[in-house]
Amino acid sequence: MQQLEFPLAGEYVELNQLLKLVGICDSGGAGKMLVASGAVSVDGKIELRKTCKIRAGQTVTLDNVRIRVTGPASASKE
């Protein structure tokens, strides 16, 4: 399974936008379609709310990709 890490810049990111920002889909609209299809889970539960607020500490899974959302302080500084 591919593991991705996404550092939040603010308090949260909408689920459909997260999928776009990590490169899983080309647009927020495509992200909404993925979520609506039931293919996306948040913390192990299928999530159907397209604009669900994803916060630091949550994990989003789609197919063979797992995205761990971290806070700004957790982001690696290289």
Mean pLDDT over 39-47 rounds to: 96
pLDDT at res. 39: 94
Using pLDDT thresholds of 50, 70 and 90, give the confidence band for residue 73: low
Domain annotation for the chain: domains and CATH numbers: 2-73 (3.10.290.10)
| CA-to-CA separations, 45 to 23, 38, 73, 76, in angstroms, rounded | 22, 10, 26, 28
pLDDT (tens digit per residue) in 57-66: 999 999 999 9
